[in-house]
Amino acid sequence: MTTGVRAAVPADVPAVKAVTDMAYHHYIARIGVVPQPMEADHMADVAAGRVFVTGDPVTGLVVIEERTGHLFLDSIAVHPDAHGTGVGRRLLEFVDARARALGLPEVRLYTNAMMWENQKIYPKFGYEVVERRTDGPYDRIHYRKRLG
């Protein structure tokens, strides 16, 4: 797996919550609702082995879930102070490596349509738009990345 990324442990939960909140908080005003990752049960996700972190202290994390035929990237969060330092790239590379290790042919994710920055980032890492769909209060763009 990618160097510097490890499974989160219960002691990481406060940092997981803090980094997630800092990464997503500025979107509340833009999208009009609290982003779903901010409302996640971080302790349950850590206990289920779904959260992987990088940095000491934690500067970034991913929440992933193995599903039938793909790995679902539920959330990626990078502390604002770490933007532009390669943390996000390392985490996305980790997700690809994890999917391959699990024998899964693709990674899927979605982002809120109002999170314009993400729509520029994901295609640079090989993700393609699959569909745009409204789920409750969320207008989401769904992506997939086929792994070679």
Confidence (pLDDT) at 2: 47
Task: Kindly give the confidence (pLDDT) of every residue in the chain, 148 residues in length, as a single tens digit, with 9 standing for 90 and above.
Answer: 446 999 999 999 999 999 999 999 999 999 999 999 999 999 999 999 999 999 999 999 999 999 999 999 999 999 999 999 999 999 999 999 999 999 999 999 999 999 999 999 999 999 999 999 999 888 999 999 999 8
Confidence (pLDDT) at 55: 96
Confidence (pLDDT) at 3: 62
CA-nearest of 111, 117, 112, 114 to 143 is: 111
Furthest-apart CA pair in the chain: how many Å?
A: 39
What pTM did the predictor assign? 0.95
Burial annotation 111-126 (CB, 10 A radius, 16+ → b, else e): bbbbbeebbebbeeee
What is residue 19's three-state secondary structure?
helix
